Amino acid sequence: MRLRLRHVAGLAALAVGLAACTGSSGSSGSSSASGSGSSGGTFTAINEFGTIHPGAPKNPFNSSGNYYPSYDEMQLCWLAYSASNPNACFPGLAKSWTSSDGGRVLTVHLQPGAKWSDGAPVTANDVKVSLAIAFTQGTAQPANLGSVKVVNSSTVQLIQSPGANDNTFASDVLQLPVVPAKVYGHLLPADIWSLIATSQYGGSSKAKTAAAKKASGTLVALGKKIAAYAPSQDLSAGPYVLSSLNPGEAVLTKNKYFYAASRVHPSQVVLRAYSGNSQIWNYLISGQLDAAPYTAMPTNILHKVLSVKGNKELVSRTFVAASLGFNEHDYPYNLRSVRQALAYLINRQAVQKVAEPVSGSPSKYTTGMIDSVVHDYLSSGQMSKLNTYSYSPSKATHLLEGAGFKKVNGQWMLPNGKPWTITVQTVNGFSDWIEASKVISSELTTFGIPTTAKISPDYASYLTELANGKYAVGFWLDALGPNLYTTYQRLYGTNDGYVVQGGKLTHQGPNAPAAAEQGNWEDTPTTYQVPGVGAVNPGELTFKLSQVPVAQQRAIVAKLAQATDYELPVIQLWNYLNVQFVNTSRWTDFPSGNEGLLNNQPGLWISMGYVHKR
Amino acid sequence: MATAETGVQAASPGTGEAAVRVRDLTVVYATARGELPAVAHVDLDLPAGQITGIVGESGSGKSTLALALLNAVQRPGRILSGSVQVAGVGDVVTLGRRALRQARGGKIGYVFQASQSSLNPLKTVGKQLLDLGRSHDVADLRQLIREAKGLAEEMGLDPVRALGSYQHQLSGGMRQRVGIIFALVLNAHVLVLDEPTTALDMLSQALVLGIVRRVHRERGLTTVIITHDIGVVAELADRLAVMYAGRIVEEGRTEEVLASPLHPYTAGLIAAIPRIVGDPNRSRPLSGRPPDLTTVPPRGCPFRERCPVAMDVCEVEDPALVEVPGGRRVACHARGRGVAVR
Amino acid sequence: MVAVDPLVPEARPRLPRTGFWSGAGRVVLRKPSRIFGLAVIVFFALMAIVGPFLYPKNLPIDPNAIYAPPSLAHPLGTDFEGTDVLALIVTGARYVLYSAAVAAVVTVVVGTGVGLLAGYYRGIRDSALMRVTDLFLTVPGFPLLIVLSTIWNFGAAPAMGLVLGLTGWGGLARAVRSQTLSLRERGFLEAARGLGLSTPHIVIKQILPNVAPYVAMNLLLSVTGAIYAEVGLFFLGVVPFKANNWGVMLNLAVFSGGAITSQNALIYLLSPLVAILLLTLGIVLFLDAMDELFNPRLREG
Amino acid sequence: MSGLARRLASRIVVAVVMIWIVASFTFFLVRAIPGNPVQAEYETLVSQGVNPAQARAETQVIYGFLPHQPLATQYGHYLWQLLHLNLGKSISYTGTPVSHIVLSAAPYTVILVLSGIVASFAIGVIAGVLAAVRRSTRLGDVLSVSGSLLHGVPQFVMALLLAYLFTTEWAIFPFGAPYDASIPVGFSPAFIGSLVSHAILPVAAYALSSYGGWLLTMKSSVVSVLGDDFVLAAELRGIRPITRLRYIGRNAILPLFTILALSIGFMFGGSVFIEDIFDYPGLGQLLLQSINRRDYPLMSGAFLLITVAVIVANILADLLYGVIDPRVRKG
């Protein structure tokens, strides 16, 4: 139920740093219908964070803070969510950017008219302070940011950390939030940048390593202080500024100092809070929402929502798939033929129809990527080699019998003669997983493998027990993207024993002491022998995806897809669809068909000139 | 009797004037078997200035009769027929609602038995007195309180404490005296006491009865005492009416009735009284149990089952209450045939 | 004055204990509502015992008949995966009644035990027991259950019953204690002790039978309480479920089926609701008979 | 009144001990919880599209709010902070003090529960008196039956029904917020009207689900008081009917105050359902959210505050009883 939404919906907008966006294609979507139509009126949408807590600080570094990305919180650019062209990006406070020194230096030119809601201009120093704060929050380090240089008041240079060679550097840093220096600057010590430099030491000097550790600790402590800091008022460089809020809704009014204020039509935005999907259903059915984000719902609710005057559905893809994962440390799931047989036995159409009827589509392939990305990256010849594991009990029987399994009195026996039963583990509150597990249990039981669904009380204990190897078969989200390294890391990453330490890949078996947070619960072989492809080392290939230039990723992805499809470390069940709703009776001109924009919040649509009064 | 001297009746011997005149009063209770009479065709005069005792076992209808004097029979009962003429009020049976309410408490005072809590437990006596005054449109409430205090003092209560107390702070005897204050503070001239001494200890009983006698005399009241205790009547009452199964079976001057009961039931009651002087074994309890509403025989004398002198006529005919010489009345077919109970 | 009163009627004879069951039968049969109540209880009890044997362990699903309207094949329609709702109701009864029965038994055993001991011993032990009772009465039960669910996965029926029983005995303990105290005030205990009876004998043989009727009625009342609580927990979805039951159905109907928002899943929502209400109605109606059976005063009315 | 003061003092001592026990219970409970909240937060971030390294870094900031000292030290610290009304810092609200969060949610629950109790108590008591006085008429029957029926309906069922009827079938009432945020907060008619219209449904759910209980209890209490001698005595003294009704009412309502205390606890418990179903942002919803997010400091804070609210309400109900019943006052 409620967790599910939180779970997947966020990818529409929350993303802080995925994929690359180099300057060239930066100004793509801003051409939409210029300033016609009158302004004014209220635009009602959903606060994608869910709940609103009036007591929380108006601070983007607080995870429950009262700030609303794309409305009153701005970043330098907004990711366009393109799998085939990870360079696509919508400009935010940065009008344009160029990279030099092999992508190691990024020169950013701010929007000439960018101003805070008190009329003061947004300066390069604001960016520098914001990025310094990002170090205290631990968000700048993974982006491989090294230092920041103010060129002039509207130009700033971002430099990668020494030794790093990150192909997604630009997108990662450009998506960090930009806050006013005059509000947050006083929270930072004067020597913040030398502290940051000290903390980044990666050499072998013991003294310097100790100093780096100490500096990191200081940064984290600063981060806590900054996260809890409550500015007295909202100072926004975005199209709107927060005017009032209560636990049910936040009211934002137009920021007349916004650099593209002339393109912004609604004079007020109301963001409704929600605590469960059914609340969004109710809002939609009562026709109150002008835009609603991804919301899981059953078919009957969909029909009812669409029957309301003006309500329209906007569907785009998400980069998330739900899968059934195996712990290959557990017999008989270490047998490829068993995993393949199970893939033949699970009718993915039926599972999706029950579990995620509206915002899902059954997965055709199990490649570790969502199906549409498979189309982007694999040639039709390569795709034809993929096994789709269409529902086929006879193929399953064949595979099982080949592996020494026997069916006795309607029940399948392991080769050792013991009866084979399966427990599928899911999580309390994740109703799509639970429903899917029931369908799967029913299908497998009918086939002669008594299967029961077991539910963990909460996600935290599910993940802990999963990492500790307590479950043989359980649910898993994979194909997270569009960054392909992230995508394959879900299969051949920490949960498969692959850990990157000091820029080097290491592998740990399931019995090794678990990595800091995740154990190796997949336990796939380190080398696959894939027919037609040959030996594949999935962990190494995955790591390579983060290192090689984007152009070279294609070949690696093809290998990984083939290997995954053949070996089935998981069985991909369905891809989530980003089903959004808009109401066209008050506002028109929504960015339908623009996948990049649909994956961003309506605040960006509005500031890019979409959304006109009817 | 322990106390033979009953000097009270000398105060107003044989007064003809009745303060309350009950005529053909029938009170019925609705039961599963239809409406059954608890008081049947009662005629009774309460002479002004005298104390009348009404005696009977439980279920005899005496309490119902007492309530009927105020037209206050509680559901499922109701007055079926008859009249209750009260001097200065009129027939309470036909009185309008408001006039009836004014008569209650204002003209006719009613004192509950001591075991019952006749006071609102959540209010002090004084506040309830004020409620009483307001209900009866007393203009000068201070005067009312003064009078109540006077009455309290008269009855040996600390007036300030008594009026400032809640019910649970009062002893049984004190409660009873407070009850009398409520009955008399508005200068009612008819006082109805329902079992005024039941459940009191001996000292309190004597005290309360003494007070009743005194206020009766001082205020020139017409008083009715409902009791099952013949001793109380013997001590206090000028006249005595004996009730059985909703009927008055014998009535007359107290000392005469006690000295020479005409009805076998009266005789039985008297014989059942244990004596302090003499052999306690000589007291003979009445045999059998008194009838309740549903067991009163529809025909004949209701007492015949327990009657030592029952005759054939008793089976078929309910004896009427007839006057016998000496100003007494009795309802018995065997009257005058000498009730040899002694 | 006269000391002995010859006119006070003799005390009512005690009701004879013989023929309790025939008496009980008569009391139940007196009103049609009580017969109905008893019938409903028996009906659901049978459903709980026999129900799961009537259907396969994994109920068949049908992805082509999701939220199907009622028909001959599916008298109450189907759920989100095309499973027969009637089958869900029938098989779900066992969990609901089993855990409610466990809860009622635990409530009664703990509540009666604590109440009897507190009332019997009085003094410091009484105060101590009553403070504990007050604690259980004061701490709001439902939030406590939710908080408990974070460390204790009490989704299985016996565990659920145990939790509900252990958190819900306060009211009964207090009532049994006051009953025991009133027995004490009537000189009951002194008399028994005067006869040289041992403490366990007095408590079990003398006091317990006197509070038994009250306890018996509470047994039924705590069944309804437990049903509400467990269904509520599953409805909120804080406790992972082990077996199909009515509360889970409510949860799925509302939060995944949108039964509140659209009519399609309405019957899926109403079926468990009606089952719950019907069962509790049956218990309430039957309680009326128990009330009369154990409170002879009411019998005259 | 010294009796009352003594009574109050002893109640407060008992209450403090109770709060200490409940606080200790939640303290140790939270530390016994299985599963790693940091891991869950990390997974959530990752599935929302945050890249793994970044997610790990972010969760480390959150993890910083979890305590590391030995248990006894933590416990001592916790109690000491509790004395200063400091309930620790929230995980899901990154470091915002728990006391701040729960105290800003508390008014909404208190508004709902109090209005619910007042409404159901007033209506239930009046209907109970009517049902008792007119118990042989049709009106009495209708009232009694309505009481029995409603009494049997659990709170969450009532809330579901109301939500279905009045937010979907006939969308008459607004929902999902405590008031219209575009109206400035203050004592303006618009604001109060908005507050009331948003609270009507949850309050109605509270009121309807407890109305039956009050009605039935009041009815039987009135019936029993009607049989009391002082009622007849008042009639025989010619006391005005309105005064008599006051006598009856005040006496009959007394036993309800002992139930009131229990009922308050029940109502606060029910806030979990009602606020969840109507999306009303009070303590109940906060408790559920904190459990779903495994934000343990917030969870224990919300639970503790609910318990304290019930304890305080109990004391108030008890004192009220003392004020109304003179027998308790002196005794």
Range of the domain at C235: 25-57+83-294
Whether A67 is covered by a domain: the verdict is: no
Whether C187 is in a domain gets the answer: yes
Chain B residues within an 8 Å CB radius of C8: 58, 228
Q: Which chains have at least 3 CB atom pairs separated by less than 8 Å from chain A?
A: C, D
The whole-angstrom distance between A437's CA and the closest CA on chain C is 11
Of A1, A297, A304, the CB nearest to C237: A1
Residues of chain A with pLDDT under 50: 1-37, 514-517
The topology under which CATH files domain D101-330 is: MetI-like fold (1.10.3720)
CB nearest to B58's CB, from C2, C3, C7? C7
> Both B40 and B175 in a single domain?
no
Among B135, B166, B168, whose Cβ lies nearest the Cβ of D239?
A: B135
The verdict on residue B211 lying in a domain is no
Q: What is the pLDDT of residues C17-38, one digit of tens each?
A: 445 667 777 777 777 888 888 8
Neighboring chain C residues of D32 at a CB cutoff of 8 Å: 151
Residue A97 structural domain: 74-228
pLDDT value of residue B311: 84
Q: Is residue A528 classed as helix, strand or coil in its secondary structure? A: strand
Q: Partners for B (CB, 8 Å, 3+ pairs)?
A: C, D
Residue of D nearest to B180 (CA): D237
Paired strand residues for B35? B30
B154 part of a folded domain = yes
* Chain A residue whose CA is closest to D40: A460
Q: Does the beta carbon of B122 lie under 8 angstroms from any beta carbon of chain D?
A: yes
pLDDT tens per residue, range C220-267: 878 888 888 888 888 888 887 777 888 888 888 887 788 777 777 888
pLDDT at D48: 62
Q: Are residues B176 and B129 in the same domain?
A: yes
Domain coordinates of chain D in residue numbers?
3-83, 101-330
Our CA-based measurement puts residue B245 at a distance from the nearest CA of chain C, in whole angstroms, of 14
* Among chain C residues, CA nearest to D313: C138
Q: Give A451's contacts in chain C (Cβ within 8 Å).
A: 58
pLDDT of residue B18: 83
Instruction: Say what the pLDDT of residue C174 is.
Output: 85
Residue B97 lies in a domain: yes
Please report the pLDDT score of residue B299 as a whole number.
83
Cα–Cα distance for residue pair D162/D201, rounded to 1 Å: 7
* Alpha-helical runs (H) found in A403-483: 431-447, 459-467
**Alpha-carbon distance D184 to nearest alpha carbon in chain C (angstroms):** 31
Query: Is the four-CA dihedral B104, B110, B116, B120 of positive or negative sign?
Result: positive
Contact C7 B57 (CB under 8 A): yes
Residues A99 and A203 in one domain: yes
Calculate mean pLDDT across residues B39-43. Answer: 90
In this predicted model, what pLDDT tens digit does every residue of B67-120 receive, in sequence order? 999 888 887 889 999 999 998 888 989 988 889 999 998 899 998 876 667 888
Residue B1 maps to a domain: no
Q: Are residues B139 and B53 both part of a single domain?
A: no
On whether both B118 and B93 belong to a single domain, the answer is no
Lowest-pLDDT choice from A371-375, B46-50, B126-130, D319-323: D319-323
Written as tens digits, the pLDDT of chain D (331 aa) is 566 788 788 888 888 988 899 888 888 887 777 766 677 777 777 766 666 666 776 676 666 555 667 778 888 888 888 888 888 777 777 777 888 888 888 888 888 888 998 898 999 988 888 888 887 778 877 888 788 778 777 888 888 888 878 877 777 887 777 887 777 777 888 888 888 888 888 999 888 888 888 888 888 888 888 888 888 889 889 899 899 988 988 888 888 887 787 788 888 888 888 888 888 888 888 888 888 777 788 888 888 888 888 888 888 888 887 777 777 665 4
Q: Residue B4 falls within a domain, yes or no? A: no
Over the stretch B250-289, which tens digit does the pLDDT of each residue have?
999 998 888 888 888 888 888 877 655 555 555 566 777 7
Q: Is A564 exposed, middle or buried (0-12, 13-18, 19+ CB in 10 A)?
A: buried
pLDDT at C117: 86
> Does residue A183 sit within a domain?
yes
Counting the structural domains of chain B, the total is: 2
Q: Are B202 and C1 in contact (CB < 8 Å)?
A: yes
Chains B and D, touching by 3 or more CB pairs within 8 angstroms: yes
Q: Report the pLDDT value the prediction gives residue A177, as an integer from 0 to 100.
A: 92
pLDDT of B8 > 60? The answer is no
pLDDT for D47 equals: 66
Q: Which two tokens stand for residue A219?
A: 């940064």
What pLDDT sits at residue A561?
94
Query: Is C143–D284 a contact, with Cβ atoms under 8 angstroms apart?
Result: yes
In one-letter notation, the amino acid at residue A524 is T
- Residue for token pair 């036995």: A345
Q: Which of B2, B205, B289 is closest, CB to CB, to C9?
A: B289
State whether A444 and A396 are in the same domain: yes
Strand bridging mode A42-46 / A268-272: parallel
pTM of the full predicted structure? 0.78
Q: Which residue of D has its CA nearest to A277?
A: D279
Quote the minimal CA–CA distance from D116 to chain C in Å: 17
What pLDDT, on the 0 to 100 scale, is given for residue A465? 84
Please give the pLDDT value at position A11. Answer: 32
So what's the pLDDT on residue B231?
85
Are residues A193 and A141 part of one domain? yes
**In this complex, is the C-beta atom of C153 within 8 Å of any C-beta atom belonging to chain A?**
yes
Asked if the structure places residue C145 within a domain, the reply is yes
Together in a domain, B170 and B244: no
CB contact under 8 A, C139 and D270: no
Determine the distance in angstroms separating the CA of C199 from the nearest CA of chain D, rounded to an integer: 31
| 8 Å CB contact between A394 and A444 | no
Contact flag B231-C4 (C-beta cutoff 8 Å)? no
Structural domain harbouring B144: 108-187
Question: Does D have 3 or more CB contacts under 8 Å with C?
Answer: yes
Q: How many CB atoms lie within 10 A of CB C43?
A: 14
Whether the predicted interface score ipTM is above 0.90: no
> Residue B3 falls within a domain, yes or no?
no
Residue A39 counted as domain residue: yes
Kindly state whether residues B130 and B112 are assigned to the same domain. Answer: yes
Q: Do chains A and C touch (3 or more CB pairs under 8 A)?
A: yes
* B209, part of any domain: no
CA distance, residue C140 to nearest chain D CA (Å): 5
Say what the pLDDT of residue A313 is: 92
A411 token code pair: 């029940």
* B180-197 exposure pattern, b = at least 16 Cβ within 10 A, e = fewer: bbbbbbbebbbbbbbbbb
CB contact under 8 A, D14 and C284: no
Q: Which residues of chain C does B265 touch, with a Cβ-Cβ cutoff of 8 Å? A: none
Q: Which residues of A touch C252 (CB under 8 A)?
A: 431, 435
Chain A 553-592, residues with CB within 8 Å of chain C CB atoms: none
The SS3 assignment for A530 reads strand
pLDDT at B13 over 60: no
Contact A518 D60 (CB under 8 A): no
Residues B226, B179 share a domain = no
Q: Are residues B196 and B302 in the same domain?
A: yes
Residue B340's pLDDT is 44
CATH (domain of C31): 1.10.3720.10
pLDDT tens, residue by residue, C183-233: 777 776 677 777 777 777 777 777 787 788 778 878 887 888 888 888 888
Q: Are residues B28 and B95 in the same domain?
A: yes
Do A277 and A158 share a structural domain? Answer: no
Query: What band does C2 get if pLDDT is binned at 50, 70 and 90?
Result: very low
Helix axes A538-545, A553-567, angle to 10 degrees: 150
Distance from the Cα of D306 to chain A's closest Cα (Å) equals: 19
Tell me the chain D residues in contact with residue A54 when contact means C-beta distances shorter than 8 Å. 104
Specify if C69 maps to a domain: no
Burial (CB count <10 Å: 0-12, 13-18, 19+), residue A206: exposed
Q: Count structural domains, chain C.
A: 1
CA distance D155 to D275: 11
In a domain, A68, yes or no: no
C278 in contact with D, Cβ within 8 Å: no
Overall domain count for chain A: 3
Question: Does residue B213 fall inside a structural domain?
Answer: no
User: Cβ contact (<8 Å) for C138 and D32?
Assistant: no
pLDDT at residue A430 in the model: 82
pLDDT at B194 over 70: yes
Can you tell me the distance from the alpha carbon of A548 to that of A545, in angstroms, rounded to the nearest whole number? 6
**Are A348 and A496 members of one domain?**
yes
User: What average pLDDT does chain B have?
Assistant: 83
Using DSSP's 3-state secondary structure scheme, residue A576 falls into strand
CATH of the domain at A340: 3.10.105.10
Q: Amino acid identity, residue B288?
A: G
